[in-house]
Amino acid sequence: MNMIGTVVAGRYEVKSRIGSGGTSSVYLVTDRHIGRTLAMKVINVGTQGALRFARSEIESLRRVRFELFPAIHDAFADGGYIYMISDYVRGRCLWDMTKGRGMDRRSALNIASHICRALDYLHTLDEPILYLDLKPENIIIDEEGLPHLIDFGIAGLLMANRIPIGTRGYSPPEQYRRDVRMDVTADIYAFGMTYYAIRCGIPPDPDHDKARADIASSSVLGRSEKTFLAGCTAFSPLERYADAQEVLTQIKHIRSGPYRIRRKIVYTAVAAGILILGAAAAEKIIKTRRQNKASLELVEKATAHMEGGQYTPQAIGVIKAYINSKSLPAECEQKFMFEVAMNAMLISKDYATAQTYFSKLDKDDYPEAEDYMRLCHMERSFDHDPEESIRIVSKLFSDIYKRSPSKEKYENLIFIACCFEKYEDDSIEGLTKYLSVLKMAADEIDGLTAEDKYKNDDEMAALRERIDALETVGRDKMAVRKQNKKMIGDNNENNKDDD
């Protein structure tokens, strides 16, 4: 069905198709009422019979407000099709990023922890929502490297109306049985298979036993990861991890080093549609929701005080106030601590503040923090050692250049380039390294922006322009310094002649 150029529901003008698969397609649309660009998911359920959405179900999806889910603005059924209108998330499909090549463990675990937080939010709503179609194709990685889960809730609504949905290999065995009621462990199973896919770069086998055997024999996965995935993808729901919080705990253990994962067999009342919470558990959920709200408020307030892509002193003050309030989730707090530290080191040259905030970072998530602290310490010392600084900067370059493309990677490379110029004894050699690092960053960004998915990436374009400006300044400096060196050499020769 070609919908480009049509207007749906007298409101949504279809501009282009941005994705398709199976019985559904996703379009980029303009809301004529407010002039906003949105995404429209269209699902053909005509072969299973027309589906009438209950108003309460639509409203339950609209109430979902979490930073890793695009907000749902409208949902309706018409002529055997379901239409869902949501925010459009700019970024790259996780499967496109990892298919055929996989992802390193640190990056995969980082993305996995965010996915678990999103699932935990859905599962702990007053009226829990099951995702039921989790897979890399349904995850978009934004410019900041954060995963966004698209199409959430739609699978649960369809399953409730006896319309089977899901993806073989990712969906648990019970999802294809009519006599089983789904619970949160169905999403835990799909999460495990999703992790396997992005780590190894291949989709899981549709046969459950074969998929489990592939995990056990994988040469890519570590022993702790294999044990972890066995707990996610057990055949019986009762043998899987009970909820997303338990999965998050296991991820934290893997990050901290080798350990023996304890398999926990739990009978959960969620399977029977009953949720019984003690006072402590209820207080924890309330606190989590408050923390999520604080995160959204901070992002909004801090972003409002940015100039030229940098946080202003006023923005840094806002961020520090939220960090001190202890109202942020741990990962969000860590991210903004890193922002404060980098701003203090690069912009305000307040090395004491930078050291303080770098010291509070989790060393597993921010391995460069230790080296940054040493650079800050040396900047504050009277006996600064340029040779040691160059050694540290060279190590940072070696570590950071290997990382996957991201805004943070290129910001780090710009900083490293400036360090080479600053710390090298020979000013021309320092500038040579400065220009070399900038060129490497520029070439990599050019390779990314040549792809269709990066053509309209504003942040990458801004970074590229910034690197261009820095390269121009560097080349001008190089020309002046070479001219000065030549003049000094000529003068020395003249002095010899005079003698």
Looking at residue 409, its pLDDT comes to 84
Residue environment code for 40-64, b if the CB has 16+ CB neighbours within 10 A, otherwise e: bbbbebeeeeebebeeebbebbeeb
Taking Cα atoms as reference points, which of 229, 268, 237, 110 lies closest to residue 175? Answer: 237
DSSP 78-123: ETTEEEEEEEPPPSEEHHHHHTTT---HHHHHHHHHHHHHHHHHHH
H or E element, residue 147? strand 147-149
Note the CATH architecture for domain 90-272.
Answer: Orthogonal Bundle (1.10)
Q: What is the pLDDT of residues 159-207, one digit of tens each?
A: 555 555 678 899 999 887 766 678 899 999 999 999 999 999 999 999 9
H or E element, residue 27? strand 24-31
Please compute, for residue 131, the number of CA atoms within 13 A of its CA located in the half-sphere on the CB side. 33
H or E element, residue 13? strand 12-21
Amino acid identity at 477: K
Looking at residue 233, its pLDDT comes to 96
Contact between residue 39 and residue 87 where contact means Cβ atoms under 8 Å apart: yes
Question: Which residues neighbour 28 within 8 Å (Cβ) at sequence distance 6 or greater?
Answer: 14, 15, 16, 17, 18, 37, 38, 39, 40, 88
How many Å apart are CA 334 and CA 328, to the nearest integer?
9
DSSP 379-427: HT-TT--HHHHHHHHHHHHHHHHTSPS-HHHHHHHHHHHHHHHHH-SSH
Other beta carbons less than 10 A from residue 476's beta carbon: 10
Q: From residue 119, give the alpha-carbon distance in Å to each of 131, 142, 319.
A: 8, 18, 27
Residue environment code for 314-335, b if the CB has 16+ CB neighbours within 10 A, otherwise e: ebbebbeebbeeebbbebbbbb
Using only the alpha carbons of the chain, give its radius of gyration. 26
H or E element, residue 377? helix 369-379
Contact between residue 351 and residue 371 where contact means Cβ atoms under 8 Å apart: no
Contact between residue 378 and residue 389 where contact means Cβ atoms under 8 Å apart: yes
Q: What is the 3-state secondary structure (H, E, C) of 168-180?
A: CCCCCHHHHCCCC
Three-state SS at 310: strand
**Residue 212 CB burial class (10 angstroms; 0-12, 13-18, ≥19):** buried
Q: From residue 8, give the alpha-carbon distance in Å to each of 49, 61, 83, 89, 225.
A: 21, 20, 9, 21, 46
How many Å apart are CA 349 and CA 355, to the nearest integer?
11
How many Å apart are CA 243 and CA 245, to the nearest integer?
5
CATH fold for the domain made of 1-88: Phosphorylase Kinase; domain 1 (3.30.200)
Locus of tokens 């789904």? 182
pTM above threshold 0.75? no
Looking at residue 330, its pLDDT comes to 79
Q: From residue 258, give the alpha-carbon distance in Å to each of 40, 225, 227.
A: 44, 9, 11
247's torsion region: left (phi>0), alpha (psi -120 to 50) or beta?
alpha
What percent of the chain has a predicted confidence (pLDDT) above 70? 76
**Backbone φ and ψ of 162, nearest 5°:** 65, 30
What residues does 13 pair with on adjacent strands? 7, 30
Three-state SS at 373: helix
Give the pair of three-digit tokens for residue 465: 């322009």
Instruction: Give every residue of the chain whose pLDDT is below 70, as ranges.
Output: 1, 21-23, 45-61, 152-165, 178-180, 256-296, 299-300, 302-310, 381-384, 449-458, 488-499
Bridging pattern class, strands 81-87 and 72-78: antiparallel
Bridging pattern class, strands 7-8 and 81-87: unpaired
Contact between residue 243 and residue 123 where contact means Cβ atoms under 8 Å apart: yes
**Residue 366 CB burial class (10 angstroms; 0-12, 13-18, ≥19):** middle
Three-state SS at 45: coil
